[in-house]
Structure 1
Amino acid sequence: MTTSLLLALALLWPLGPPRPEVLRGWEPPPGPYAAGHRGVDLAAPAGAPVRASAAGTVTFAGPVGGRGVLTITLAGTGDPPLRTTYSPVEPLVATGTVVRPGDLVARVAPGTHCPESCLHWGLLRGDAYLDPLRLLRRGPARLLPVTGVSG
């Protein structure tokens, strides 16, 4: 993912404020069928609001293996485009809904993904899983001179 692509996205945590605790980080599998953790688990009680982390279109909202899943395909992120996934959730939007960053899209559903209640947040490009925390990372802060201020 290029830096210019990251800067073009409006990036938000899908939970909070405050910023949620990361219970388990992204652990890429060594191969496509190997064990790994293809996303991050964020601490959240059942019923917590889930918000779109970036602008896009809801491309799936429904059950997968008995667990509610929501997928948002992110606008302007290349070919194939980036997709974020959220589970276990109770989707509040239908497939085809266009969302903006911060829009309420789901509520955390009770589930068995984590030992304690959580939201599993994933990021994909095509079939490749990526670290969703990369959506939140930006370069170092830079102080710029202040002009036009009298003191």
Structure 2
Amino acid sequence: MGTRRCAGVMWAVLLGLVVTVLAPLAWAQAPPPGPSGTGGRVPAVATTWPVGVRPRILRGWSPPASPYGPGHRGVDLAAPAGAPVRSVAAGRVSFAGRVAGRGVVSVELRGTGTPPLRTTYEPVRASVRAGDEVAAGAVIGAVEPAGGHCTLPCVHWGLRRAGTYLDPLLLLPPQLRNGGPSRLLPVLGVPLPP
């Protein structure tokens, strides 16, 4: 095989790898436009994860096919009991109390359209009250030792706009969601072009 043909094959393989790595990020969008006029888009307004630096995701978002159908309307993040839970963005606490025996905190996020996006965190022992204004990264409570639906201690993090559940991971900018900017690594055994 000639040098030019080998270089062409190498570039085709490299392009394929780039598409494979970056395409899922480009396609990770919110649902199609909704009735609110906001287009159903989720702005990347989060400045922090709710718990930890980059917690392990125990279970991802799986939207229901119908409003009352089965699904997972949020993400479960591994977190030890007593760990601080933070508001991912600035907003106003719309609820802090118990639902079905679990502590729940909901925060309406500032500057996210009408109706505003609302994040929920459970099971959380609230340190805030309904009506409190919170800054991005402010502690809103602590992980309760029991009461969640995970097999390990966790926080269920949800996101809604009115009655529509959305993927809360979309609130995170790519550098938080993916641990930093994408980097291309060399393909083993393939020489770099001159």
TM-score (norm 1): 0.85
Matching residue within 97, 102, 110 for 2:137:
102
Please report how far the alpha carbon of residue 10 of structure 1 lies from its aligned counterpart in structure 2 after TM superposition.
4.3
Alignment partner of 2:72 out of 32, 37, 43:
37
Matches within 5 A, 1:60-75: 60-75=95-110
| Aligned pairs, number | 139
Alpha-carbon distance in structure 2 between the residues aligned to 1:27 and 1:38: 6
3-state SS of the aligned residue for 2:174?
coil
Q: Which residue of 1 aligns with 2:163?
A: 127
Label 1:10 to 1:43 Cα distance change in 2 as closer, same or farther (>3 A): closer
Greater Cα radius of gyration, structure 1 or 2: 2
Aligned with 2:43: secondary structure?
A: helix
From 75, 78, 81, the counterpart of 2:113: 78
Alignment deviations for residues 74-110 of structure 1 (CA, whole Å, 9 cap, x no partner): 0011111000000001000111110011101110002
Question: Offset at 1:141?
Answer: 5.2
What is the Cα deviation at residue 6 of structure 1? 2.2
Tell me whether 1:6 sits opposite 2:32 in the alignment: no
Which residue is equivalent to 1:115?
151
Which is richer in strand? 1
Instruction: Give the corresponding residue for 1:22.
Output: 57
Unaligned 5+ runs, structure 2:
1-29, 31-38, 183-194
1:148 is matched with none
Question: Separation in 1 of the partners of 2:52 and 2:97?
Answer: 23
Q: Displaced runs of 4+ in structure 1, greater than 3 A?
A: 137-142
CA contact (8 A) 1:51 1:102 kept: yes
Percent identity, please: 55
Residue 86 of structure 2 is matched in structure 1 by: 51
Q: TM-score, normalised by structure 2?
A: 0.67
Structure 1 residue 5, shift from structure 2 partner: 6.7
